[in-house]
Amino acid sequence: MSLQHFERIRSIDHLIRIRGTGSPRQFARRLKISEASLYRILAFMKEAGAPIRYSKERQSYYYSEEGSFLISFIPSQ
């Protein structure tokens, strides 16, 4: 996975947390990726435990639990 992928996931996480994604089409356009790519990334995040849901009413993705998606190195002590 490249640094660009990590940055894209960070952007996706931020937009999900503020419930500012818009529809899947709008979300993909905002990220400058295809809808298929968006769905693959969301599937990866879900497989990693992110409780991602979509609200048709609000037209936005959101987390069903408070939290954020982190991908980082944590040194052992």
Predicted local distance difference test score (pLDDT) of residue 45:
94
Predicted local distance difference test score (pLDDT) of residue 77:
74
Side-chain-side CA neighbours of residue 56 (13 Å): 0
DSSP result, 36-76: HHHHHHHHHHHHTT--EEEETTTTEEEESSS----------
Predicted local distance difference test score (pLDDT) of residue 73:
67
Spelled out in words, what is the top-level CATH class assigned to the domain 3-63?
mainly alpha
The residues, any chain, with a CB within 8 Å of residue 44's CB and separated by 6 or more, are none
- Domain coordinates of the chain in residue numbers? 3-63
Tens of pLDDT, residue by residue, the chain (77 residues): 678 888 999 999 999 999 999 999 999 999 999 999 999 999 999 999 999 999 999 999 999 999 888 876 677 87
